[in-house]
Amino acid sequence: MGHSLKSATFLMESRLAEAARGNADALYELGVAYSTGSAGLEVDLIEAHKWFNLAALNGSDRGQMCRAEISEEMSAREIAEAQRQARAWLSQTTMRHAA
């Protein structure tokens, strides 16, 4: 059990590093992980929407489709929160790259 959790954490960290570079596939995979609860994560639609949204912004058609699908299961407030988090993440990563 401990081993799979460790590899899941490693997977997430490598995905996050790729995502910070604007890798649409990594952003999409993070969305999938949160929407399905894979990689040892709890299902979190707000997180999933955030990553699918970021993937879509980076040109991922799959990200756009999945974002639309999970939006149907979310309240307007949840979607607004997911969008706020996506903007916050974007401004953080852009700042990091500029530094």
Tell me the residue type at 61.
Answer: D
Tokens 């970021």 sit on residue:
54
- Annotate 7-72 with DSSP letters as a single string: HHHHHHHHHHHHHHTT-HHHHHHHHHHHHHT-TTPPP-HHHHHHHHHHHHHTT-HHHHHHHHHHHT
Within a 13 Å sphere around the CA of 14, how many CA atoms are in the beta-carbon half?
6
| pLDDT one-digit tens code per residue, 4-24 | 667 778 888 999 999 999 999
| pLDDT one-digit tens code per residue, 39-77 | 788 999 999 999 999 999 999 999 999 999 999 999 999
pTM of the model: 0.88
In what helix (H) or strand (E) does residue 49 lie, and over which residues does it extend? helix 45-57
12 vs 70: CA distance, rounded Å: 21
| pLDDT one-digit tens code per residue, 88-98 | 999 988 766 66
- Identify the pLDDT of residue 66: 98
Tell me the residue type at 9.
Answer: T
Per-residue pLDDT band at 3 (split at 50, 70, 90): low
- Higher-confidence residue: 2 or 33? 33
